[in-house]
Structures are given as structure tokens and as C-alpha cells.
Structure 1
């Protein structure tokens, strides 16, 4: 099964959510500038990198204990980092 295979319902839902987020943010920013905290940029960068790593892991057919454990550790470290700052 290809990773890029998405049933039509989910594709519509995902596309609709992406459009709504960008459309509302675009209109809001057009009306009044939106200030973004630098921590939000760091969070987005981190989540983007983790998403890319997840794409690489999804290509594997079987998740082994090492992969599962590493994903749990990354999640715990990220949660602790958010709480500490």
C-alpha cells in the first residue's frame, strides 16, 4: 500500500482543513497583522522535522521495538521541553 494513497473522504477532510487554516489566517493577517512568538516558530520547525522522519519510518512495513521506543522517547523529550520552557 502506497503512503500517498489516501481515501477520497480523508483527502477531502485534510484538504478542507488546510484550506480553512490558511484562508482564515490569510484574511486575518490581511485585516490586522498577526504577531507570532519565536517559540511557535521553533515548535513548527521541530514538528516539521519529526513529520519528515515519520514519513521515512512509514515506508517500513514493520515497526520494531527500537523504532517504537525511539518515537516514545522523542515524544517524552518534546513534552518535557515544552513544560520546562
Structure 2
């Protein structure tokens, strides 16, 4: 029974987990990103049309960046 309760706890939305969040914001040039926290919660797709998004399960933050700004940053790091 304890395994069932633990499994149910892992699949609770982030708001039920007290707002725990992961580390850094993941930047993407795509409009839609996916998150599963390496299989720790169900695979979901997050729309970044508004510029940012957050996973409802693990709290991971995502940010949409333009191709130009991404290319400029890559060039400056090279």
C-alpha cells in the first residue's frame, strides 16, 4: 500500500507539492517544448507562445528565445 501512496504522490501537480521548482530556466527556439523530468512524471507539452512556460508537475521553467539572440550568444561563447 505504501508503494501506491508514494506513486500517487509523485504524480501530483506542482501546486500540491508546495511550489517546488527545479534549477535554471531552459531556453528554447521552439514554440512547444516537452517535459517529463527524466520519466519522473507524465510527458507533457508546454506552449511557449507567450514567451515563457512552466511544467505543472515539476515546476521546470522554459523560455522562448529568438534564433538571432541564440546565434549571437553561441558566437560570443565560441
TM-score (ref. length: structure 1): 0.22
Q: Which one has the bigger strand percentage?
A: 2
Greater RCO (Cα-Cα under 8 Å, separation 6 or more): 1
Q: Whose Rg is larger?
A: 1
